[in-house]
Copies of this chain bind each other. A is one copy, B any other.
């Protein structure tokens, strides 16, 4: 169920990692060695914070129901723009229909959210979770995925003030309601959240067996390891990627994010902390 990539760093042409890397996220849409499904061809999304003077604070979204490997518009767009913070998501639908409103990332004001994973027996608990969304936020739910409901539940619980706290509370609510309906392991998922400056990502599942998640090592360290790899010149010193699986086969470049932990990236760099230890 899906693969995703989040980038934070110096403004970069997204195609560099969305398309051109050996195991780019688009390559993963056709063949994802570590994914729960090999093929992630049920639409995709690309969301980016525009870079440059007088840019809007809100991220822009490009959603499509086509397989990412097919999409000429994605190639064009990610080769033409630059962004300091962008999300890409390729989907393997677990039930909810393939339509643009079900494509990640989702947006609320200046916030973006995406998710790889699933709520177990979603149709059974959808109603109980949906009614917990704040009525003022309810009309903003445009699609029918579990992910978007969890995003709005986290918004209800204060995501804009405390992203990890609110996401944690939303996930605990999923677990409570899931358990009430007889589901043993209600939540599985890696999540990325941003406000345009900071990137929060989490890896947690009720069963302790979450979809894979990796972050890139520091660019200066990578350059030291691979002084001859010219491709690395495309990246600035602060460039950092969090991604469902490594973008290349170079040992040491991608580091697994442990279960039940959060990775936080901002101007001060990288920070890892515990998240919802089971």
Contact = CB atoms under 8 A, between A and B. Distances in A.
B97 A123 contact: no
A60 B42 contact: no
Interface residues of A, number: 45
A219 interface: no
A28 interface: no
Interface in A44-85: 48, 50, 52, 55-56, 60-67, 70, 72-73, 76-77, 79-82
A198 interface: no
Interface in A7-57: 30-31, 38-39, 41-42, 48, 50, 52, 55-56
Contacts of A42: 67, 70
A110 interface: no
A236 to B, nearest CB: 13
Interface stretch (A137-145, A223-231, A246-254, A264-272): A137-145
A99 interface: yes
Nearest to A64: B73
A34 B164 CA distance: 47
Interface in A76-131: 76-77, 79-82, 93, 97-101, 123-124, 126-127, 131
Given A39-B39, A42-B67, A52-B82, 11 more contacts: A31-B39, A39-B41, A60-B77, A60-B79, A61-B76, A63-B73, A66-B66, A70-B93, A72-B97, A73-B73, A131-B131
Top-6 shortest CB links A-B: A60-B80, A99-B99, A123-B139, A60-B76, A50-B80, A127-B138
